[in-house]
Amino acid sequence: MKTIRVSDETWANLLRLKADLRARSLDDVIKKLLNAYGLEKEEEKAEEGEIKEGEEVESPPRIRQYLCENCGYLFEVEGEADKCERCGSENLQILKEYF
Site for Zn ion, rule CB under 5 A: 68, 70-71, 73, 84, 86-87, 89
In this structure, the number of other CB atoms found within 10 A of the CB of residue 85 comes to 14
Q: For the CB of residue 73, give the shortest distance to Zn ion in the complex, in Å.
A: 4
We find the least distance from the C-beta atom of residue 23 to Zn ion, in angstroms, to be 48
The strand pairing partners of 4, in sequence order, are: 57
For Zn ion, which is the closer residue by CB, 65 or 70? 70
Shorter beta-carbon distance to Zn ion: residue 19 or 71: 71
Nearer to Zn ion by Cβ, of 10 and 91: the residue is: 91
Residue type, 58: E
Q: Are 4 and 59 in contact (CB under 8 A)?
A: yes
